[in-house]
Amino acid sequence: MSNNINLLAEVKETAKKWLAPEFDELTRKQVQNLIDNDPDELIESFYRTLEFGTGGLRGIMGVGTNRMNIYTVGMATQGLCNYLIKNFPNEKQIKVVIARDCRNNGELFAQTAAGIFSANGFKVYLFDDLRPTPELSFAIRHFKCQSGIVLTASHNPKEYNGYKAYWNDGAQMIEPHDTNVIEEVEKITSIAQVKFNGPKENIEIIGHEIDEIYITELKKLSLSPEAIAQNKDIKIVYTPIHGTGVKLTPMALKAFGFENITVVEAQAVVDGNFPTVVSPNPENAEALQMAIDKANEIGADLVMATDPDADRVGIAVRNANNELVLLNGNQTAALLIYYLITKWHENGKLKGKEYIVKTIVTSELLIEIADKYNVASHDVLTGFKYIADIIEKKFGKETYIGGGEESYGFLAGEFVRDKDAIMACALIAETAAWAKSKGKSMYELLIDIYAEFNLYYEGLVNVTKKGKAGAEEIEKMMHDFRTNAPKEINNSKVILIKDYQLQTEKDLTNGSQKAINLPKSNVLQFFLADGTKISVRPSGTEPKIKFYFGVKTKLKNKSTYESEMQTLKNKINEVAKSMNL
């Protein structure tokens, strides 16, 4: 009890600083109301400072040090400014781009950040309205900027907003910039250190002209114009789930040549409250339900949904019974990689210096597909910024075809450096048109891929352990797996262990060991004799430890696809059970 009293006393002292004149009147009133009437919310709002992590800021909106508001956004922006000034001392004028998604307060936060960048002497390119995250990445490169930010909380609930920072290559920051920016942000301990309200002449409003340039670049990725011409009336239902894809996705599809696009009207309303869904996450079946209903009503072949900042896409295709079924991120990535590499080969574009990239928890099927055409493949840590890092390092020397992650992110081409759902939607539609020109559905194409290579299925198990005790338990689980690794899982021998924390790969069949040339990360992988892959990693943002399972088998007969897939799903359950999950 005394701990709570002490915490409340400390929090009140912190909150009283927000009653000072440098805070606006509405903020002061809201803080005073919390002090007087709501001790629980007061504690939640002020018990800590909202952390600027390697991915930027993300939090619930409201007043207080632990909330997203113009002051926490302002302090983060000033810290970023200070870091950019240190890093680019010879730039005549540092340049940045600002974009935002559909979330509440997005425009306010974008305007606030623009004023601060301007006050620090920067040239600011500010989008006139909501725009997708990948377009922000594109604009940084287009204007040759040193940085950029996008105000988004991705697929989080409506109470949240966020702030992602980008470097001059158009990618989210990695070492050393990510941790160095954090240090600079942490040095901003007072609102008095923030330079607000710079001159308006430093801020240039941008909009449709960048849309046009981006779409022009995107159209260059098209590999099968003849297949699209044959199937331009393929029925597509699309939903932006109230977010930023609402304008550019239909625009991209039309630029590619598709003419029969139905947008879900109720979800085309830009609304940060996401009134038609529980969660605006295309990984969740519920988020696609309205689009699926519309597709069934009009007999559409393909359903696509993008998340609020339009960097991830979920799709549904028709199965052998003409039912719309959802594909997971691994399946979508496999279809796209197969299509892209096959067409690069058919079009004579493979010169021997091409490559793809996937994250370590994404399906090994992508590597099998690449190997067939002698296309190099690279594994990177979870996070699209690591895919972007490979692209930057190889830029001008080797050619990136495409890459993806199991969590519904995909990117083709080199002009954007973050996952791009606008691009993915256009290429998914083109893949469907290409398949149709060969007399196949997307579903049949996927089964063909499984028959040619191997039938893969991936599953994810999240184990939640809350509080301090939970964090310690997760730490102990990782320690036990690392120091006392299983020799057998589900009656299959462990033949290879990859430890990304120790950066070692150990072959248990012969005892040999080699280094992993990736940044340190608290991830373990176990590869079994039967082809099973198990990846274990604690979540960086939630009190969870994640277990990614990948299993495979030979698909000898396409007619047994459904039963073989069910067998693999059962196998994942058995593997998880054998690990006491």
Average pLDDT, the chain: 96
CA distance 441 to 435: 6
Question: Could you give phi then psi for residue 179, rounded to 5 degrees?
Answer: -75, -30
Among 46-60, 338-352, 474-488, the range scoring the smallest mean pLDDT is 46-60
Confidence band of 3 (pLDDT split at 50, 70, 90): low
- pLDDT confidence of residue 469: 82
**Percent share of the chain, pLDDT over 70:** 99
H or E, element range at 572:
helix 561-578
C-alpha separations of 24 from 14, 28, 30 in Å: 17, 6, 10
- pLDDT confidence of residue 452: 98
What is the three-state SS of 305-361? EECCCCCEEEEEEECCCCCEEEECHHHHHHHHHHHHHHHHHHCCCCCCCEEEEEECC
**Percent share of the chain, pLDDT over 90:** 94
CA Rg value for the chain = 25
- pLDDT confidence of residue 462: 92
**C-beta contacts of 386-392 below 8 A and 24+ residues apart:** 386/174, 386/359, 386/518, 386/519, 387/357, 387/358, 387/359, 387/411, 388/169, 388/170, 388/171, 388/172, 388/417, 388/418, 389/171, 389/174, 390/355, 390/357, 391/171, 391/357, 391/417, 392/169, 392/171, 392/417
- pLDDT confidence of residue 263: 98
**Chain center to CA of 460:** 17
Q: Give me the residues paired with residue 68 across strands.
A: 61
**C-beta contacts of 565-574 below 8 A and 24+ residues apart:** 565/455, 565/457, 568/455, 568/456, 568/457, 569/457, 569/459, 571/490, 571/532, 572/457, 572/459, 574/490
Name the packing angle between helices 133-142 and 208-219 (round to 10°).
90
Residue 322 has pLDDT above 80, yes or no: yes
- pLDDT confidence of residue 468: 77
Token code pair at residue 290: 């309205």
CA distance 34 to 245: 37
Question: What dihedral angle (degrees, nearest 10) is formed by the CA atoms of 6, 12, 17, 20?
Answer: -160
- pLDDT confidence of residue 541: 63
Residue appearing with tokens 């009190």: 543
Q: Give me the residues paired with residue 457 across strands.
A: 551
CA distance 469 to 69: 31
CA distance 356 to 451: 22
CA distance 136 to 130: 10
Residues with active-site annotation: 154
> Taking Cα atoms as reference points, which of 66, 58, 53 lies closest to residue 7?
66
Q: Is 481 helix (H, G, I), strand (E, B) or coil?
A: helix
Residue 2 has pLDDT above 60, yes or no: no
For the stretch 131-171, pLDDT in tens is 999 999 999 999 999 999 999 999 889 999 999 999 999 99
Question: Could you give phi then psi for residue 537, rounded to 5 degrees?
Answer: -155, 140
- pLDDT confidence of residue 467: 77
CA distance 207 to 101: 14
Cis before 519? omega within 30: no
For the stretch 520-563, pLDDT in tens is 999 999 999 999 999 999 986 667 899 999 999 999 999 999 99
Name the packing angle between helices 25-37 and 2-16 (round to 10°).
160
Confidence band of 245 (pLDDT split at 50, 70, 90): very high
Residue 113 has pLDDT above 70, yes or no: yes
Q: DSSP letters along 28-97, please?
A: HHHHHHHHHH-HHHHHHHHSSPPP-BTTBEEEEBSSSTTSBSHHHHHHHHHHHHHHHHHH-TT-SS-EEE
For the stretch 201-217, pLDDT in tens is 999 999 999 999 999 99
Ordered structural domains, the chain, with CATH: 1-47 (no CATH), 68-212 (3.40.120.10), 230-452 (3.40.120.10), 455-578 (3.30.310)
Confidence band of 90 (pLDDT split at 50, 70, 90): very high
Among 339-348, 404-413, 458-467, 515-524, the range scoring the smallest mean pLDDT is 458-467
Residue 73 has pLDDT above 80, yes or no: yes
Mean pLDDT of 503-522: 95
- pLDDT confidence of residue 55: 83
Listed in sequence order, the DSSP H helices in 395-486 are 421-437, 442-452, 467-483
Confidence band of 74 (pLDDT split at 50, 70, 90): very high
Residue 363 has pLDDT above 60, yes or no: yes
C-alpha separations of 183 from 80, 339, 405 in Å: 10, 44, 29
C-alpha separations of 400 from 37, 408, 476, 574 in Å: 57, 19, 39, 38
- pLDDT confidence of residue 53: 85
